[in-house]
Amino acid sequence: MTTDVLHDCALRDSHGQHVLFVPKDRYIATLRKLIDDSYTMCVDLTAIDFLTHPGRTLPEVIAPERFEIVVNLLSMRDRTRLRVRTQVSEADASIDSAFDLYPGTEAMEREVFDMFGITFTGHPDLTRILMPEDWDGHPLRKDYSQGRIPVQFKGSAS
C-alpha cells in the first residue's frame, strides 16, 4: 500500500488512475486547491451507494460510510485525470455543492440528488432532474427495488 498524500488527503492508485480520498469537511477546500493544480475541468460527478458492499478497500484513515461522492477531474494542461472520492454518511446525506467552482456540476449534482437523495448545500436549483417531480424515493439507492413483477408459473404450488 502506498502512502502518498496530496493536499493532506490520501492518494491511492486504482488500476493506474489516481484517486484522492477527501474528507467531507475539506471537500470544497481541496477542490479549490486542485483547480490551482490545473484540474480546471470537472468531467463527471456521481455517487455510489455502498449499502450492500461495506467492506470495500479504503485507505486506513478513511472510515467507510454508506454513500460516496465520486468526482472525476481533468487537467488539460498536464493531460492527467484525478478522481476525488468523499464519504457521505446516511445520517447526514448532504455535502457542499461544487457549483461555484465548477458550474458544469449543476446538472450532475441534480442527478445525484435525484438518484441518491444526497443534498448539495449551496446548489442554486436542487430539484429532480430525471425522475418526475413527485416521484417517491431515490432509484439508484441499493434499497430501492427495481420494481419487478413476480411471475406466477402455471401449476406451481401457489
Partner 1 sequence: MSDLLSTVVSAGTFEGNQELRSRSELTAKEVMREVGAVLRMSEADVALLAEVESDPGEDQTMIINMGPQHPSTHGVLRLMLELKGETVLRCKPIIGYLHTGMEKTGESLTFMQGGTNVTRMDYASPLNNELVFSMATEKLLGIDGDIPERAVWMRMLLSEMNRMSSHLLFMASNGMDIGAVSMMLYGWREREEVLRFFQKVTGLRMNHNFIRPGGVAADLPAGWRDDVLEILEMLAPRLEEYDTLMTGQPIWRERLQGVGVITQQEAIALGATGPILRSTGLAWDLRRDMPYLHYNEIEFDVIVGSYGDAFDRYAIRLAEIRESMRIVRQILDKMPGGDYRIQNKKVTPPPRARIDESMEALIHHFKIFTEGFKVPEGEVYVAIESPRGEIGCYIASDGSATPYRMHVRAPSFVNVQALPHMMRGGLVADAVAVISSIDPVLGEVDR
Binding range to partner 1, per CB under 8 A, among 1-9, 22-30, 58-66, 120-128: 120-128
Q: What is the DSSP string of 2-63?
A: --EEETTEEEEEETTEEEEE--GGGHHHHHHHHHHTT--EEEEEEEEE-TT-------TTPP
Say how far apart CA 127 and CA 136 lie, in whole Å: 13
CB of residue 158 vs partner 1: minimum separation in angstroms? 26
Binding range to partner 1, per CB under 8 A, among 2-10, 59-67, 71-79, 87-95: 71-79
Residue 153, C-alpha cell as written in the block: 408459473
Candidates 44, 58, 59, 94: give the one binding partner 1 (CB under 8 A). Answer: 44
Residue 107 near partner 1 by CB under 8 A: yes
Residue 62 near partner 1 by CB under 8 A: no
Residue 13 near partner 1 by CB under 8 A: no
Phi, psi of 72 (to 5 degrees): -105, 115
Residue 24 near partner 1 by CB under 8 A: no
Half-sphere exposure of residue 148: CA atoms within 13 angstroms, side-chain side: 4
Residue 43, C-alpha cell as written in the block: 468531467
66 close to 50: Cβ distance less than 8 angstroms: yes
Residue 103 near partner 1 by CB under 8 A: yes
CB of residue 77 vs partner 1: minimum separation in angstroms? 11
Burial degree of 79 (CB within 10 A; 0-12, 13-18, 19+) = exposed
Candidates 36, 60, 91, 134: give the one binding partner 1 (CB under 8 A). Answer: 134
Interface residues with partner 1 (CB under 8 A) are 14-15, 17, 19, 40-44, 46, 48-49, 52-53, 56-57, 70, 72, 76, 79, 81, 83, 99-100, 102-108, 111, 113, 115, 124-137, 139-140, 146
